[in-house]
């Protein structure tokens, strides 16, 4: 009995040591699989590539999906894993539930996973569950950002009036968090009424049509929250087309050049910028540390902050760093 225990202990120690042990002369190869082709993920890739270059890591980037969702993402992830030469994958799961099986299979096949921007399950990777296998989640505090946006929009509309949320998907952690934060944030202003919460499935034309339809029914709409690149870009275009620039206040999320230019023109009132380059850089840095010597991210979570652009700071030299790349 005692011998078996000691034997098991020795095997476990060898396995633990082997996990982080990487031959000094082997180039680490990581793969990044973005959520969709958009400036947020292009900027994340830039940050990741810069850190990879600094550390001598080879970074393979999976094909950028043209549409959001597991149908596009799963085959690309499977192809990356099937190459057989990837040491770690970091990816933005396009669904909290639908991505669990494929990521678990890749992990069980020996490739560690970090999720960036979005998480699987409820994002708690510290409690044992069928989705706690990733090394970590690295991304924005979307709930907090949603609350900040709500409080700012409330001020812009004088604490009262009808508002809507133009969202993308009901099963994606990032945008769900933003929506929840916003809904809790407006609770502080009893005069504000949420009249619509639309989902465009990350399609800008659809977002524009949805905001247009809500405007038709609510001609006294006071404010809109566009929760990400395509929903925000579609939302402000609908307001401009309706000739309501300035009358309907628009708070948007993601600092694309399009949204920043719209802010400068007064067609948008607020742009929340995430820090995608930092997220990509942290994923490479911590993936590298883990592969080199088994160092793990404390609490399996890293949360870079965000920056809020308004017409008052949009031209500040210090703020320019937060605009996403094309
Ligand atoms: O807002 C980002 C990202 O954080 C979100 O998860 C999905 O949409 C974007 O990529 C912007 O389009």
Q: What pLDDT, on a 0 to 100 scale, did the predictor assign at position 9?
A: 46
Q: What pLDDT, on a 0 to 100 scale, did the predictor assign at position 26?
A: 86
- Separation of CA 87 from chain center: 23
Residue 163 beta carbon below 6 angstroms from any ligand 1 atom: no
Q: What pLDDT, on a 0 to 100 scale, did the predictor assign at position 197?
A: 98
| CA-based nearest residue to 103, from 118, 279, 171 | 118
Q: What pLDDT, on a 0 to 100 scale, did the predictor assign at position 24?
A: 65
Across the beta sheet with 160-167, the strand order is 191-199, 160-167, 221-226, 249-253, 270-273, 307-309
By alpha-carbon position, which residue is closest to atom 9 of ligand 1?
228
Residue 254 beta carbon below 6 angstroms from any ligand 1 atom: yes
Q: How far apart are CA 20 and CA 318, in angstroms?
A: 39
By alpha-carbon position, which residue is closest to atom 10 of ligand 1?
40
Q: What pLDDT, on a 0 to 100 scale, did the predictor assign at position 21?
A: 53
Helices (H) and strands (E) in the chain, counts: 10, 12
| Tens digits of residue pLDDT in 80-94 | 999 999 999 999 999
Residue 87 beta carbon below 6 angstroms from any ligand 1 atom: no
What is the Rg, in whole angstroms, of the alpha carbon atoms belonging to the chain? 22
By alpha-carbon position, which residue is closest to atom 6 of ligand 1?
174
Mutate which of 36, 99, 225, 229 for ligand 1 pocket (most atoms within 8 A of beta carbon): 229
Contact partners, residue 8, CB within 8 Å, separation at least 6: none
pLDDT tens for each residue of the chain, 326 residues long: 445 544 444 444 444 444 555 666 689 999 999 999 999 999 999 999 999 999 999 999 999 999 999 999 999 999 999 999 999 999 999 999 999 999 999 999 999 999 999 999 999 999 999 999 999 999 999 999 999 999 999 999 999 999 999 999 999 999 999 999 999 999 999 999 999 999 999 999 999 999 999 999 999 999 999 999 999 999 999 999 999 999 999 999 999 999 999 999 999 999 999 999 999 999 999 999 999 999 999 999 999 999 999 999 999 999 999 999 98
Residues in the chain: 326
By alpha-carbon position, which residue is closest to atom 5 of ligand 1?
174
Query: What is the reported pTM?
Result: 0.93
Q: Map tokens 């990733």 to a residue.
A: 134
Q: What pLDDT, on a 0 to 100 scale, did the predictor assign at position 40?
A: 98
Residue 32 beta carbon below 6 angstroms from any ligand 1 atom: no
Residue 258 beta carbon below 6 angstroms from any ligand 1 atom: no
Structure tokens that stand for 182 in this block: 């916003």
| Tens digits of residue pLDDT in 43-74 | 999 999 999 999 999 999 999 999 999 999 99
CA of 200 to the centre of ligand 1 (A): 13
| CA-based nearest residue to 87, from 19, 34, 37, 136 | 19
Mutate which of 36, 174, 233 for ligand 1 pocket (most atoms within 8 A of beta carbon): 174
């Amino acid at each position: 009995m005692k011998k078996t225990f000691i034997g098991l202990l020795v095997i476990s120690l060898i396995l633990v040591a082997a996990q982080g042990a990487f031959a000094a002369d082997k180039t680490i190869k990581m793969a990044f699989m973005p959520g969709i082709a958009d400036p947020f993920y292009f900027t994340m890739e830039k940050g990741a590539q810069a850190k990879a270059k600094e550390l001598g890591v080879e970074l393979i980037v999976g094909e950028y999906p043209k549409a959001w969702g597991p149908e596009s993402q799963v085959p690309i992830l499977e192809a990356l894993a099937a190459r057989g030469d990837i040491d770690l994958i970091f990816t933005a799961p396009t669904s909290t539930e639908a991505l669990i099986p494929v990521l678990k299979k890749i992990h069980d096949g020996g490739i560690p996973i970090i999720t960036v921007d979005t998480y699987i399950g409820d994002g708690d990777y510290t409690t044992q569950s069928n989705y706690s296998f990733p090394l970590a989640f690295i991304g924005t505090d979307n709930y907090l950002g949603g609350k900040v946006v709500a409080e700012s929009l409330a001020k812009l509309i004088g604490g009262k009036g009808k508002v809507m949320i133009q969202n993308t998907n009901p099963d994606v952690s990032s945008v769900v968090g933003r929506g929840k934060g916003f809904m809790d944030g407006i609770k502080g202003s009893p005069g504000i009424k949420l009249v619509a919460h639309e989902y465009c499935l990350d399609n800008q034309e659809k977002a524009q049509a949805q905001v247009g339809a809500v405007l038709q029914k609510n001609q006294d709409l006071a404010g809109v929250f566009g929760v990400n690149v395509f929903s925000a870009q579609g939302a402000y275009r609908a307001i401009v087309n309706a000739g309501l620039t300035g009358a309907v206040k628009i708070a948007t999320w993601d600092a694309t050049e399009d949204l920043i230019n719209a802010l400068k023109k007064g067609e948008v009132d607020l742009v929340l910028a995430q820090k995608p380059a930092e997220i990509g850089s942290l994923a490479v840095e911590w993936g590298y540390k883990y592969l080199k010597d088994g160092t793990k991210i404390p609490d399996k979570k890293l949360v870079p902050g965000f920056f809020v652009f308004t017409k008052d700071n949009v031209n500040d030299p210090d703020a320019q760093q937060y605009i996403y790349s094309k």
